[in-house]
Amino acid sequence: MADLLLASNNQGKVCEYRVLLASAGYRLSSLSERGITETVLETGNTYEQNACLKAQAYARKGQLLTIADDSGLEIDALDGKPGVHSARFAGENVSDAEKIRTILDKLKGVPREERIARFVCVIAIATPEGEVELCRGECPGIIAFEPAGEGGFGYDSIFYLPDLGKTMAEVSQETKNRVSHRARAAEIACQALKAKIH
């Protein structure tokens, strides 16, 4: 079985990708499992640039086929923000609860029909030689008025899925692995990874 490096040490993300990419036929390992301690800064202005930066740097370092992702929340009423700055939108090292409060404060008085949003995920697959393939997934939704649900992380508890009548934090992991932006990008990545084996 071929090895695949995931440019992350986030255990939640590692577990999620092991499930999402299970059918691709690779043995997935995290940076720490490969003894890689360097940090690659996300200095790009787009999800694509950030995913490429990480995938190419770690593919060179680990001399392995590598995947990296960048994702964010885009809210129409905030002109697409927080977007690529989703993780740091409310400041450095703030809790998910503080990030959520910042978004809800900015949307005070905005009616439901104008709270349209989407989660976006871009996965970059890079070879040690520097070749890159990009896979993009989007999940449409609405920003809820209050957080709901115990699951997920980040903005999941205020991201309402109209088709399911629940927030991303209220759906099962199994459902999330089917409908999320990451799941949709991973589905495309799975096909691309399979093609690299054969």
Of 12, 136, 29, the C-alpha closest to 74 is 136
The gap between the terminal CA atoms of the chain, to the nearest Å, is 12
Residue type present at position 161 = L
Strand duo 159-161 + 116-126: pairing? unpaired
Of 31, 49, 33, the C-alpha closest to 41 is 49
Question: Measured between alpha carbons, how far is residue 143 from residues 8, 99, 157, 176 in Å?
Answer: 27, 13, 9, 17
Burial 177-196 (b: 16+ CB within 10 A, else e): eebbbbbbbbebbbeebeeb
- Catalytic center residues: 70
Burial class of residue 34, CB neighbours in 10 A (0-12, 13-18, 19+): middle
